[in-house]
Structure 1
């Protein structure tokens, strides 16, 4: 199929700058993308742009058994290039064509498409387009003009209740839209995750990504513009996709490995496609704009209309929105992430006979509580570790009691005693016999500064824990008098795990406790106990 690409300076570049190559030539027999394009033209009367066709053909590559090669597809492209249109077309094809193609492996009554996003409004964008094409009861002349009779006949009913929106077909296939955290219990055949850049914590992505695991030939599509320092989920999948592309180029393209040799050592079920300008290019760079804006010249977007935004936007916003480049200079974390990584020791631990201080801290919205530990290693260096993270607060006293039963010489816990949710723990834990170290007054700033000093000096060790590494990368401070203190509100995500580690370290180094009886090591295989590592 000729996808209609025009190669001149007035048009965008169809092929993404960075992408996952196909494992075999793509034809109508090896990619469902061709069928989606034909469906769009014949039934929806939508003529897709060349880049949209390219994405569908490559993203819907199939295995010899007909299942999708990619279980995850992530695409990055600048704003206003037609992301919603291509996702709407794909969802319509899934619902009205794909849902009934393999009843023996994926019966239509189990076929569920989920549109997800950080907010329900973002998730509704592709859904609304599909509804316009298939609504069996249009309310206005405008809605009736958009409807496709062949699709209207396939719909049994539509649920318009807020938060419960759904299109239910006569074959029982469904398309629903939900805010990301509200689909945790559902199993989905297809998921479209819009505006992935808005995921500032792992919670939504973790909930959504688990829904497709038990389904034959399932797919999760995430499509987004470039992110910023807060976009931790998108940053991770972008880095993963770029590494796979770089590995392919260094191994297969150079002839050092065959395709089969490469696939044996790499994840071939992840497809990554990035339309972006090269980092550091000039704001008005023609080729960079063409590369990030593949719709250029095929619709109303022109080079002149793009560069007209240069003077009306900040450089950071222009690079992110128009050039699809990552701009991370918006924040300078209090602790240098590179210095933090130098303290990683995969074998680091606290000997059981050594003193251990715990700390507990809860996020400002009271949604998540963290427990951390600090103690000295055998070589005398302090070790910090996140040992538990769970939603809410009520579980903490019982958990700490169970921990103390299994490791009786843990008796100390550090808590910020004013101005934060964790203050609720002070009295109950003291009444339960814990030695509670109050982090208040000058100590709030001292524990923040001391923690940074230990990291900078290379005198702190810790395990590789992604949850803490993410918090380090976005944790900022605010001035309180003459000192810096952790800023729970303005950091880009919850940083209570990091705060708990800093408090535990401060109490370990500066606050005394009654000596405790020496016990057998919790790392001894005969005891079966030890710190819980996330």
Structure 2
């Protein structure tokens, strides 16, 4: 292997531009010049390439991409790229269109699952901009031109922000606290760590009210638990595939395509091809574009393989998505055949709610089951929220709206049992799933899927759980295995209990309240 090999500037998977990229059609050139002339930083070729392509402009001067998803192996310079971009956003881009987005409303939010990760690029920008450096060493690294344009820096824990003299602001938050005021720019680091949709759903909406708002999600490759990153990557690949179908095959030109298709997601992935050898020089260069620029070499990366698991090496160094070879309890293909976007419980029909909580009690799911007009059972996830104490109040509200008064829940040996007494005190009929019923409910759910006699909505979190959920032996039967499944399957378990309650228990009052389901809908996610 030659030490002169260089990392690949161009990613393996990427979204094509709508037009030739020049300083007039991409602001990436401006960022590169800002880094060079103001910060004294010569960005690496892959970083320059990415900025030029990701900051493509539409004819009206707005950014083409509302979402930019970047995947690249670790230690390739993601943090420096994010720091340069955030600094330029704060002190240059915030001034570009004051008539549309005044600087005082131009907020940049940096977030990650761990606040320390979000703090890394913020701390670099602080070092460049802080008009009152903490130490003499920090002062030596500051950039006077940026200090002159910075009004205030606050590094108080929980209130960390940098404010320009024009009142644009760059602040950081932990993902769980990311909900807040609208943001013109969002920088999400380590997107692979988001295993639920809470942070994404809250933060991704903050840019929508802004003209030319933009969100960047930067990460290494994910795994079966990285539901948010997988969904964004899948959406980007779907757009690339659609582009190839129409533009690359000559059915439409780029302008015609943009006028009739969504072109707002940019996916840029530096990753090794699937199935490559761990020490393949070309594969290492494709996933690590910084090889040959600094201390990283093909040899140094290849030598790391001896001290890592193959799965870890492929994920961390080759930026490959590695799905464990798991014998899932449900057949994902059979499950997919039961998907019906228009499925619903028959209006006025009986509704049984199912509840399950993760082993540590951190997350609780509520699901519902009922019969459709054609007699087939329907299941769906109703909501997923952190903690448990909110459940009785929400279920009472659902009952007031739909008449659903039955709750199916595991009767012992799990955190959810703490909800049984409060629900019973509220007058709910509690169908206890315990003992032999645990295995019976799990087996019954699989039978309905296998027989294609179950219908459900397309819900990505549940679909992912189906592809990751495994069972374990409990005596002579099989039950859901929360601990060994590749991701949280509590929503799937809640659906299992709801279906079992529907088919194996009877409503104690012998009647069903007329449901408002068809008019209002049951989904409260």
Greater mean deviation of Cα atoms: 19-28 or 283-292? 283-292
The CA deviation at 1:512 is: 4.1
**Other-structure match for 1:198:** 193
Instruction: Work out whether 1:454 is the aligned partner of 2:448.
Output: yes
Correspondent of 1:125 among 113, 120, 123 = 120
The CA deviation at 1:354 is: 5.4
The CA deviation at 1:286 is: 2.2
Paired residues of 1:347 and 1:463 also in contact (CA < 8 A): yes
**Other-structure match for 1:86:** 81
In the alignment, the residues of structure 2 paired with residue 186 and residue 529 of structure 1 have an alpha-carbon distance, to the nearest angstrom, of 29
Paired residues of 1:356 and 1:375 also in contact (CA < 8 A): yes
In the alignment, the residues of structure 2 paired with residue 83 and residue 185 of structure 1 have an alpha-carbon distance, to the nearest angstrom, of 25
In the alignment, the residues of structure 2 paired with residue 396 and residue 483 of structure 1 have an alpha-carbon distance, to the nearest angstrom, of 30
Instruction: Work out whether 1:322 is the aligned partner of 2:289.
Output: no
In the alignment, the residues of structure 1 paired with residue 139 and residue 43 of structure 2 have an alpha-carbon distance, to the nearest angstrom, of 22
**Other-structure match for 1:251:** 246
The CA deviation at 1:96 is: 1.6
In the alignment, the residues of structure 2 paired with residue 156 and residue 372 of structure 1 have an alpha-carbon distance, to the nearest angstrom, of 50
TM (norm. structure 2) is 0.92
Correspondent of 1:497 among 491, 499, 510 = 491
In the alignment, the residues of structure 2 paired with residue 490 and residue 132 of structure 1 have an alpha-carbon distance, to the nearest angstrom, of 44
Correspondent of 2:479 among 474, 480, 485 = 485
- Alignment map for 1:413-424 (pairs within 5 Å): 413-424=407-418
Paired residues of 1:120 and 1:163 also in contact (CA < 8 A): no
In the alignment, the residues of structure 1 paired with residue 192 and residue 302 of structure 2 have an alpha-carbon distance, to the nearest angstrom, of 24
Paired residues of 1:359 and 1:503 also in contact (CA < 8 A): yes
Paired residues of 2:401 and 2:515 also in contact (CA < 8 A): no
1:324-379, CA deviations, whole angstroms, 9 ceiling, x for partnerless residues? 11101165543232221121133434435655433233344545443323234455
Correspondent of 1:37 among 14, 32, 37 = 32
Correspondent of 1:359 among 351, 354, 362 = 354
Correspondent of 2:419 among 416, 422, 425 = 425
**1:127 counterpart SS class:** helix
In the alignment, the residues of structure 2 paired with residue 313 and residue 392 of structure 1 have an alpha-carbon distance, to the nearest angstrom, of 35
Instruction: Work out whether 1:511 is the aligned partner of 2:505.
Output: yes
The CA deviation at 1:489 is: 4.9
The CA deviation at 1:60 is: 0.8
TM (norm. structure 1) is 0.90
In the alignment, the residues of structure 2 paired with residue 367 and residue 289 of structure 1 have an alpha-carbon distance, to the nearest angstrom, of 39
Instruction: Work out whether 1:59 is the aligned partner of 2:78.
Output: no
Q: How many pairs were matched up?
A: 523
Paired residues of 2:354 and 2:366 also in contact (CA < 8 A): yes
**Other-structure match for 1:99:** 94
- Alignment map for 1:233-272 (pairs within 5 Å): 233-272=228-267
In the alignment, the residues of structure 2 paired with residue 487 and residue 384 of structure 1 have an alpha-carbon distance, to the nearest angstrom, of 20
In the alignment, the residues of structure 1 paired with residue 105 and residue 350 of structure 2 have an alpha-carbon distance, to the nearest angstrom, of 55
The CA deviation at 1:519 is: 7.0
Cα RMSD for the two superposed structures? 2.5
Counterparts in 2 of 1:359 and 1:54: CA distance versus 1, 3 Å: same
**Other-structure match for 2:461:** 467
In the alignment, the residues of structure 2 paired with residue 313 and residue 110 of structure 1 have an alpha-carbon distance, to the nearest angstrom, of 46
**1:309 counterpart SS class:** helix
**2:69 counterpart SS class:** strand
**Other-structure match for 2:65:** 70
**1:168 counterpart SS class:** strand
Paired residues of 2:227 and 2:461 also in contact (CA < 8 A): no
**1:31 counterpart SS class:** coil
Counterparts in 2 of 1:519 and 1:318: CA distance versus 1, 3 Å: closer
In the alignment, the residues of structure 2 paired with residue 162 and residue 234 of structure 1 have an alpha-carbon distance, to the nearest angstrom, of 28
1:438-489, CA deviations, whole angstroms, 9 ceiling, x for partnerless residues? 1112222321232223223323222222332233233344444444333445
**Other-structure match for 2:41:** 46
Paired residues of 1:352 and 1:519 also in contact (CA < 8 A): no
The CA deviation at 1:275 is: 1.1
Greater mean deviation of Cα atoms: 45-54 or 59-68? 59-68
**2:118 counterpart SS class:** helix
Instruction: Work out whether 1:444 is the aligned partner of 2:438.
Output: yes
Greater mean deviation of Cα atoms: 429-438 or 511-520? 511-520
Paired residues of 2:224 and 2:487 also in contact (CA < 8 A): no
In the alignment, the residues of structure 2 paired with residue 424 and residue 304 of structure 1 have an alpha-carbon distance, to the nearest angstrom, of 55
- Alignment map for 1:21-420 (pairs within 5 Å): 21-329=16-324, 331-352=326-347, 355-390=350-385, 392-405=387-400, 407-408=402-403, 410-420=404-414
Greater mean deviation of Cα atoms: 274-283 or 347-356? 347-356
Greater mean deviation of Cα atoms: 149-158 or 23-32? 149-158
In the alignment, the residues of structure 2 paired with residue 373 and residue 68 of structure 1 have an alpha-carbon distance, to the nearest angstrom, of 41
In the alignment, the residues of structure 2 paired with residue 120 and residue 31 of structure 1 have an alpha-carbon distance, to the nearest angstrom, of 31
**1:137 counterpart SS class:** coil
In the alignment, the residues of structure 1 paired with residue 47 and residue 417 of structure 2 have an alpha-carbon distance, to the nearest angstrom, of 53
Paired residues of 1:229 and 1:331 also in contact (CA < 8 A): no
**Other-structure match for 1:13:** 8
Counterparts in 2 of 1:234 and 1:398: CA distance versus 1, 3 Å: closer
Paired residues of 1:180 and 1:207 also in contact (CA < 8 A): no
**1:160 counterpart SS class:** strand
Which consecutive residues of structure 1, in runs of 5 or more, have no partner in the other structure? 1-7
1:493-520, CA deviations, whole angstroms, 9 ceiling, x for partnerless residues? 5433211211122233333445734776
Counterparts in 2 of 1:354 and 1:243: CA distance versus 1, 3 Å: closer
